[in-house]
Amino acid sequence: MESAIYEGRQVALATKHGKERVLTRPMKAALGLEVVVPAKIETDAFGTFTGEIERPGSPLRVLLYKARLGLKQTGLKLGLANEGSFYPHPAMPFVTVDDELMVFIDEEIGLNIVERLVAAKTNYTRIKVQSMEELKDFLRRVCFPSHAVIVRPNDRLTPDFIFKGLNDFEAVKRAVEICLKASNDRTAHIETDMRAHLNPTRMRVIRQLAFKLARRLKCLCPICSAPGFGLIKTESGLPCRSCQTPTELLNFEIHGCQKCSYEMKKMNTDLKADRAYCSNCNP
Ligand SMILES: [Zn+2]
Ligand SMILES: [Zn+2]
């Protein structure tokens, strides 16, 4: 089932980093929604990637705050927001992941549909340098200058002494020189600027997630027709091939509706777990 309930309506996108560039098309094409960006939105009030302003709570909380701020500023009933975090892959510590969340809020129906995309493709990294030679090598690795960087003195992290959004070599060089002198340990800290408009790799991940969210919103609940019907959790218990004992492997996808709480179990009907995963056959 598909939804036309959002056709011709407006949705507020709380961003000051140009995310409308990648959200407008998916929302329009899939749902007929027009993306509106509030004129004055201070999303840095919710903290920054660099850490000089601390983030209050989990990424999910920040995400919901941002979306509600967009609603408040525009007076609209539909809102969108995105929030990313970057950390080492739990199973592969040398790989950094870009973990993006996106929410769609419908205040009239009382929905907030959250979609997530974890991408292993990101240039997120940081380094401490004491010379220009180290700097050049770092800049090559992080796809500079199409991707911007941030420079600060190594011994301090304050909002008034930080050079952000640098995508010109001379500007980086100047900032590094200043920070080398200013830092007590004669070291400059450089990191990738992860704000979407300065990081095309991240912007592409956000675009993919926007399409994923739009597809989700098109799915209607088979019982109450609310939009956003889809995967809400997974359950383990895939039976062993030889003895049928439930294993730790995934067996069910639970698809659900936020409005009426209807849930549907989707079972892996043909798959069976290898004996290697079975606590009975392979204790
Ligand atoms: Zn429902
Ligand atoms: Zn078994």
283 Cα to the center of ligand 2, angstroms: 9
What ligand is nearest to the CA atom of residue 255? 1
Residue 59 in this model has a pLDDT that exceeds 80: yes
Q: Which ligand is nearest to the CA of 239?
A: 2
**R_g of the chain, CA atoms, integer Å:** 23
User: How far apart are the CA of 278 and the centre of ligand 2, in A?
Assistant: 5
118 C-alpha to ligand 1 centroid (Å): 27
Nearest to 97 by CA among 84, 110, 112: 84
Task: Kindly report the average pLDDT of the chain as a whole number.
Answer: 91
Ligand number nearest to the C-alpha of 273: 2
Task: Break the chain into its structural domains and give their ranges.
Answer: 10-119+196-218, 126-192, 232-277
Write out the CATH class of domain 10-119+196-218.
Answer: alpha beta
Which residues make up the environment of ion ligand 1, defined by Cβ < 5 Å? 221, 223-224, 226, 257, 259-260, 262
216-238: average pLDDT: 92
Ligand nearest to the CA of residue 243, numbered in listed order: 2
Task: List the strands of the sheet with 111-119, edge to edge.
Answer: 34-36, 10-13, 78-88, 96-106, 111-119
Query: 257 CA distance to ligand 1 centroid (A)?
Result: 5
* Residue 269 CA, ligand 2 centroid: distance in Å: 17
Read off the pLDDT of residues 230-283 as tens digits, 9 standing for 90 and up.
998 888 889 999 999 999 988 888 999 999 989 998 877 778 999 999 999 988
Ligand nearest to the CA of 242: 2
Interval 58-84 mean pLDDT: 93
* Closest-approaching ligand to the CA atom of 221: 1
What gap in Å lies between CA 99 and CA 204, rounded to an integer? 13
Class of domain 126-192: alpha beta
pLDDT digits (tens, 9 = 90+) for 128-178: 999 888 898 899 999 999 999 999 999 988 888 999 999 999 999 999 999
Whether pTM > 0.85 for this model: the answer is: yes
Say which residue, 169 or 52, is predicted with more confidence.
169
For residue 278, what pLDDT is reported?
Answer: 94
Distance 236 CA to ligand 1 centre (A): 25
Closest ligand to the CA of 278: 2
Closest CA to 66 of 58, 157, 258: 58
The candidate with the shortest Cα–Cα distance to 69, out of 61, 10, 58, 216, is: 61
Is 50 exceeded by the pLDDT of residue 1? no
Cα-to-centroid distance, 279 and ligand 2 (Å) = 7
Burial category of 77 from C-beta neighbours within 10 Å (exposed 0-12, middle 13-18, buried 19 and up): middle
